[in-house]
Amino acid sequence: MASCLTGDWLKKIYPELANQIFLELDENSLFSIWQFVNGSPIIVKSHNIRLIVLPEESGDFSEFIIPQEWVDIPRFRGDYFLPVLVDLEGNRLRVYGFVSRQRLKRQAEYNSNLYQYHCPSRLIEREINPTLLYSKYLPSSEEELVYIPDFSSEEKEKLMARLEAIDCDVIRCRLDFGEWTALFADDNYRLLLYQKYQPINLGEWLEKELHQTCRGWQKLQDLNEEINWIIPRYLTPLYPVSMRSNSVLNLEDIYGTKDEGKLRIAAQKLSIISRRYSSNKEKILKALNYIITNSQDEETRWLAAEGIWQLKPNHPHAGLW
């Protein structure tokens, strides 16, 4: 969402470049990347530059963390990095400035344990102009590049096996960076890793089960029992399901609760459902608005805001400006 809003902001500020600014990756690719690192690439096609948008929820501008994947992997390597503050309380987004890759490599501190560049705020330039960026920071032919070895499919399978029982939060640091790059830069293997950490694809499961129920292959009571098993009681499907018994599944139990754990899980599930069941968006929006209004947890509110944005980008709780 931050990358979309930043792209829209750049188009408004520089209308002459409006038809040249694009989000580089599709939704599926971004989801698989966000599982492991923060950041989204924006392309300015006419100038052949890549901007990496880095959302931050903290107001501490003393230092910014930039994952090495955006700096040293050739297919993802950014030319400029834009820290962006997401202010959920104020419903706004603030582009702090930018730092060039050359400056980052020369002056930022590299953490070899976490595969991160720590960029102090003094390295961030505040004025952003894509035209000036290109003329001021022409790519250097002398720039030092990190060597990325090639791996065969068999070698990648062995790397996957080594990560079998590793927690998602530390998985990228359990291999050396070259080995991790072999998996992360490969769309197929990155997707496999991403899917490994998804508990259940709720949207696809519900679509399949409801299709079978409507065709008479499964009793509504059986489906309801499965839904109660897979989803906590306070998070039943939002859309009405009227079948042969005229039974309706709803989300009434969510309203009235202020338990942060329940609200967090609800926001997670609803953000998934919102991508697949936009035809019931008013009920989904109502539940997501309830979560934003009643939750005090920033991550929970962020999840709810993301779900709202997917359904209604111009909604007050979706436009973080």
Lowest-pLDDT range of 154-168, 200-214, 250-264: 200-214
Distance of CA 219 to the CA centre of its chain: 37
Lowest-pLDDT range of 12-16, 45-49, 213-217: 213-217
DSSP 121-141: GGG-B----HHHHHHHSPPPT
Residue with more model confidence, 21 or 91:
21
Question: What is Dmax (Cα atoms) for the chain?
Answer: 72
**Strand 116-120 and strand 99-100: pairing?**
unpaired
Percent of the chain with pLDDT over 70: 67
Residue with more model confidence, 146 or 274:
146
> Which residues are within 8 A (CB) of 131 and not within 5 positions of it... i.e. 6 or more apart?
14, 17, 47
171-173-178 Cα angle (round to 5): 110
Name the packing angle between helices 298-311 and 260-276 (round to 10°): 20
Grade residue 244 by pLDDT with cuts at 50, 70 and 90.
very low
> In whole angstroms, what is the distance from residue 51 CA to residue 19 CA?
16
For the chain, the C-alpha Rg in angstroms (whole number) is 22
pLDDT computed for residue 164 by the predictor:
85
How large is the average pLDDT for residues 126-144? 58
What are 56-74's pLDDT values in tens digits?
876 667 888 999 999 999 9
How large is the average pLDDT for residues 23-33? 87
Report residue 241 as tokens. Answer: 């399901």
Phi-psi map region of 72: left, alpha, beta (phi>0 left; psi -120 to 50 alpha): alpha
| Total length of the chain | 321
pLDDT computed for residue 77 by the predictor:
93
Residue with more model confidence, 315 or 193:
193
How large is the average pLDDT for residues 123-130? 77
Long-range (24+ apart) CB contacts under 8 A made by 185-190 are: 185/73, 185/74, 185/75, 185/76, 185/148, 186/156, 187/29, 187/32, 189/156, 189/160, 190/32, 190/33
pLDDT computed for residue 129 by the predictor:
64
Residue with more model confidence, 148 or 131:
148
The answer to whether residues 250 and 240 touch, using CB atoms and an 8 Å cutoff, is yes
Grade residue 130 by pLDDT with cuts at 50, 70 and 90.
low
Report residue 279 as tokens. Answer: 């035809």
Domains of the chain: 2-136 (3.40.210), 153-196 (no CATH), 202-311 (no CATH)
> In whole angstroms, what is the distance from residue 259 CA to residue 262 CA?
5
pLDDT computed for residue 115 by the predictor:
94
> In whole angstroms, what is the distance from residue 126 CA to residue 137 CA?
15
The answer to whether residues 267 and 238 touch, using CB atoms and an 8 Å cutoff, is no
Residue with more model confidence, 75 or 270:
75
**Phi, psi (degrees; rounded to nearest 5) at 237:** -55, 145
What are 255-311's pLDDT values in tens digits?
777 788 878 877 877 776 655 555 567 778 888 888 888 888 887 888 888 888 777
Mean pLDDT of the chain: 75
49: three-class secondary structure by DSSP: strand
How large is the average pLDDT for residues 137-147? 57
How large is the average pLDDT for residues 145-173? 86
22: three-class secondary structure by DSSP: strand
The answer to whether residues 51 and 82 touch, using CB atoms and an 8 Å cutoff, is yes
316: three-class secondary structure by DSSP: coil
> Which residues are within 8 A (CB) of 57 and not within 5 positions of it... i.e. 6 or more apart?
85, 86, 88, 298, 299, 302
**Among 238, 245, 202, CA closest to 222:** 245
